Amino acid sequence: MGHGNVASRKEGEFSMRLQQKTVVITGGANGIGAVTATIFGQHGANIAIADFDEKAGEAKVQALQAADVNAAFFKVDVSKNDDVKEMASQVLAKFGKVDVLLNNAGITKDAMTLKMKPEDFQQVIDVNLTGVFNCTQAFLPSMVAQGKGRIINTSSISGTGGNVGQANYAASKAGIIGMTKTWAKEFGRKGVTVNAVAPGFIATEMIKTVPDHVLERIVSMISVQKLGQPEDIANAYLFLASDEAGFVNGTVLEVDGGMLK
């Protein structure tokens, strides 16, 4: 029973999962954020790239526009609340609404704890954790006013299990999980769901600096015996942003290939 309905669906019926939805992607100029912008654009979304890297952000928007995606770039330092408020007002003026906020922006300043500079600890917290708070607080009122919205936060396996040399990063990403679960309880009744994705080791520019022998050890700790691709994370974001995820709230989706804990 029911299988006939699935079989009878037209081919491509689910191909535009974000049709006419406006998505804000912080940190969307490079890496996983940029790949996500491409995939979301292919699914019919309007894309607002919010990033500190103006050159890369403008280039990404041009590429999206060349693919017939309605996109715009907004320069922002997510760690600065006034900066974020101004960006949010510009996005809403441009697009009229925001359906999905993807809090993807993040930095690393790795060092062993005894050698970590206090300013490096604080900067990672300011961007990765306070930045998520700033952006959520700025866009939430418009989502509540329209009675629906999706907020997706980027955590990490460093936040769920810790990682040597990343006390600042792990603390910021663990904090994101705490905020995600709290916000799910606060905002759910207002029609806004809040979830997090915790990526494992993904083949991005950052990984290229890792020595081969270290990379081999990392891969050996992953059940599927390979690094993830940016598209693996983007597709997790896509599910959480879509209508299909309407009953998913307050969850942390670990996309790590089955890291051996």
Report, as residue numbers or ranges, the catalytic residues.
169
* Cβ atoms of residues 204 and 230 within 8 Å: yes
Does an H or E element contain 47, and which?
strand 46-51
Question: Which residue is it, tokens 């590429």?
Answer: 63
Rounded-to-integer distance, Cα 256 and Cα 172, Å: 18
Bridge partners of 149? 192
**CB-count burial class (<10 Å; 0-12, 13-18, 19+) for 3:** exposed
Question: Which residue is it, tokens 């309905």?
Answer: 5
Locate 35 and state its tokens. 């790949």
Could you give the residue ranges of the DSSP H alpha helices within the chain?
A: 3-8, 31-42, 54-66, 81-95, 118-125, 131-146, 157-161, 167-187, 212-220, 230-241
The packing angle between helices 131-146 and 167-187, to 10°, is 20
Locate 165 and state its tokens. 């040399």
Using DSSP bridges, classify how beta strands 71-75 and 46-51 pair: parallel, antiparallel or unpaired.
parallel
